[in-house]
Amino acid sequence: MDQYEKMEHRFIDCYRKYRNHSVMVLLGFYKGQYHKFLLSTFFFVIKHAPSLFAALLTANVINGAIAGGEEGKRQILLNVAVWIGLLAVHLPANWLHNKYKNQVIRKTEAGLRGALVRKLQELSIPYHTQIQSGRLQSKIIRDVEAVETLSSQLFVNLMNILMNLVITLGITAVKNRSVLLFFLLVAPVTAVTVVAFRKRIHSENRAFRREMEETSARVMEMVELVPVTRAHALEKQEVDKIKEQLEETADKGYRLDMVQAHFGAVSWCVFQVFQALCLGFSGYMAWKGSIKIGDVTFYQASFTTVVNQFAGLINLLPILTKGLESVSSIGEVLISDDVEHNEGKRELNQLKGRFRFQNVAFSYKGSNEPVLSGIDLEVKEGETIALVGESGSGKTTILNLLIGFITPGGGRLSIDGTDISEINLRSYRRFISVVPQTPILFTGTVRENITYGLTNVSDEEVNHAVEAANLKSVIAKLPNGLNTMIGEHGANLSGGQRQRISIARAIIRDPRVIILDEATSALDTISEKEIQDALNELIKGRTTFIVAHRLSTVRGADRIVVLDQGKIREEGSYQTLMELKGEFYEMERLQMALR
Ligand code: ADP
């Protein structure tokens, strides 16, 4: 188990255990590393010693000056020396404090991102189809960052606050109990202020986070759509659409800012009133002679420290709410169990390529309408099945069932005689190749794109795939041959070329089963012939399912399955179906007429 996998399991455990307690989940993130926080805290106290004792040292110097004489002088010198001594250790202590703290926080940040990325690879294809990629990106980048900020702030600020409070209240308790009681009045006032605002800040935060995710998703979609938008001259409409979203986000952000600012101002005012009262109180005590005059500055400075700590506590609330919101946002993905379960299922060491659909039905989540129903089909080893039918008749859904992206809602689908639900799909997929309708290429060389996921591939094997996929002449023309870089999504290649790379990728895996969604894009006759030759090479001797759009493919298939509204209407060889003069015959006549 690698480091990220371990972290992923720990995070998921935390989420499951403390579902509604984000703070506990956050604490759980750092399990096993608490000792580093302790070390960091230790150096933090040392680092802050000069400011912690500043008020006391100042009061001592003033009292020394008022007392006068040799004793007074000694007191002044001693206190200044102590102050400078404390400052000398500040730099090394600061370095050590930050070292331990940041090591832990950065490691957890990377761990969270790693866990999310791993989870994305496990989540089902329908999950990915539903959730916009921008939304996921926002979680991986923005939410993890918010958790990091929260941890860092929480740790440093809380520590600072606690330390300041303990030391200041401690010294005050020793010096004068009645002043201490006055100081402690601040606590309930803080609590009341926080309670008054907490709910609003929380709900505004959630609204803003959701809006940000939506924006991220929309912008990603817009960018992907740019060529289509440009081609239809719809730039302005697209910008307007995003503008609306941006305004909505700005509005939510504004509301959040305002409630936070109002909250800040209210608490500031409350504390200032207290501070004025404190000055009056200690002034009166000095006037009465119960405390020394120098101590008035000490109590005033100490009270300012106490008030600042409570104000700091209050200021943590927005960061806390935002960070904890992000903790639950990340949790939404991490605890989703919409994943493929392969553990303990039967591993396939070989695949013959026999398939059997028995009364298979399927409907998409959230819809009662069956997309497929009563599908019965038996496919022998090495057979080529062409799936034809109008758009929306269920062809792609059948391919997705075959790949195991979705599972039958009713009936049974078996592979080599075993129910697909009992098979470890990862082991099954080693023996299949999928050629999607739109070839998916990544930034990398042509060779890397062809050998995707394979290691130790010989040049001979690559050359064979290139030849079989009819790519030889294309590659000869590229500046660096097989080592030419392909832009994102294969931007510098033609549609036909991209598809042939996709076919070469399928050939090199030497699969037992091919699942192929033919591109519908209009190709010129030469490209079509080249692709057809490549396809013929690919499907030789392997069980093949093709969503067929081209006449030549349909004719070459062993069997044609005609789908209509999720049901099989006709089935048979090209010859049989043409003689039947049914639905397929009509479709073919129409297509030929259009040619
Ligand atoms: P074809 O490949 O024949 O064009 P599909 O198998 O893609 O047809 O779609 C069959 C039906 O299922 C269509 O009516 C389509 O609207 C619906 N459908 C496809 N994908 C989804 C989805 N992810 N969620 C809901 N309905 C879907």
Higher pLDDT, 532 or 325: 325
Pick 527 or 511 by higher pLDDT.
Answer: 511
What stretches of 123-143 show up as alpha helix (H) in DSSP?
Answer: 125-130, 133-138
Output the CA 394–ligand 1 centroid distance in Å.
6
Cα 389 to averaged position of ligand 1 atoms, centre (Å): 13
Q: pLDDT (tens digit, 9 = 90+) per residue, 279-315? A: 888 888 889 888 888 888 888 888 888 888 887 887 7
Torsion 564-568-571-577 (CA) sign:
negative
At 368, is the pLDDT very low, low, confident or very high (cuts 50, 70, 90)?
confident
Q: Are 495 and 503 in contact (CB under 8 A)?
A: no
CB 395 near ligand 1, within 6 Å: yes
SS (H, E, C) 228-284: HHHHCCCHHHHHHHHHHHHHHHHHHHHHHHHHHHHHHHHHHHHHHHHHHHHHHHHHH
The full set of domain ranges for the chain reads 3-334, 382-408+419-594
371 lines ligand 1 (CB under 6 A): yes
CATH fold group of domain 382-408+419-594: Rossmann fold (3.40.50)
Report whether residue 170 contacts ligand 1, using a CB cutoff of 6 Å. Answer: no
Measured between alpha carbons, how far is 485 from 479 in angstroms, rounded to an integer? 9
Q: Per the structure block, which two tokens stand in for 214?
A: 């939506």
Cβ(124) to ligand 1 under 6 A? Answer: no
396 lines ligand 1 (CB under 6 A): yes
Pocket test for ligand 1, best of 124, 363, 364 (most atoms within 8 A of CB): 364
Task: State the distance from the centre of ligand 1 to the C-alpha of 427, rounded, in angstroms.
Answer: 27
Q: What are 378-413's pLDDT values in tens digits?
A: 999 999 999 999 888 999 999 999 999 999 999 999
Q: How confident is the model at residue 560 (pLDDT cuts 50, 70, 90)?
A: very high
pLDDT score, position 490:
62
Residue 91 is encoded by which pair of tokens?
Answer: 């730099």
- Residue identifier of the C-alpha nearest atom 11 of ligand 1: 392
Question: Which CATH number, 3.40.140.10, 1.20.120.450, 1.20.1560.10, 3.40.920.10, labels domain 3-334?
Answer: 1.20.1560.10
Where does residue 404 rank: exposed (0-12), middle (13-18), buried (19+ CB within 10 A)?
Answer: buried
Biggest alpha carbon distance in the chain? Answer: 124
- Torsion angle of C-alpha atoms 138, 141, 147, 153, degrees rounded to 10: -120
d(CA 498, CA 440): 8
The burial of 289, by beta-carbon neighbours within 10 Å (0-12 exposed, 13-18 middle, 19 or more buried), is given as exposed
State whether residue 138 is helix, strand or coil.
helix
Residue 594 Cα to ligand 1 middle (Å): 26
Q: State how beta strands 567-572 and 410-415 pair.
A: unpaired
Q: In terms of C-beta density within 10 A (0-12 exposed, 13-18 middle, 19 or more buried), how is residue 273 classed? A: exposed
State how far the Cα of 427 lies from the Cα of 348, in Å rounded to an integer: 5
> What one-character DSSP code corresponds to residue 346?
B
Asked if 502 contacts 469 with a C-beta cutoff of 8 angstroms, the reply is: no
373 lines ligand 1 (CB under 6 A): no
Asked if 555 and 395 touch (Cβ cutoff 8 Å), the reply is: no
Q: How many CB atoms lie within 10 A of CB 136?
A: 21
Q: Which residue has the higher pLDDT, 42 or 532?
A: 42
pTM: 0.74
Q: Which atom of ligand 1 is nearest to the CA of 387?
A: 3
Amino acid at 147: V
Going by alpha carbons, the residue nearest to atom 27 of ligand 1 is 364
How many C-beta atoms lie closer than 10 Å to residue 74's C-beta?
11
Tokens of 421: 């639900």
d(CA 264, CA 266): 6
Q: Is the minimum distance from the CB of 437 to ligand 1 under 6 angstroms? A: no
Q: Whose CA is nearest to atom 25 of ligand 1?
A: 364
What mean pLDDT is predicted for residues 14-32?
A: 84
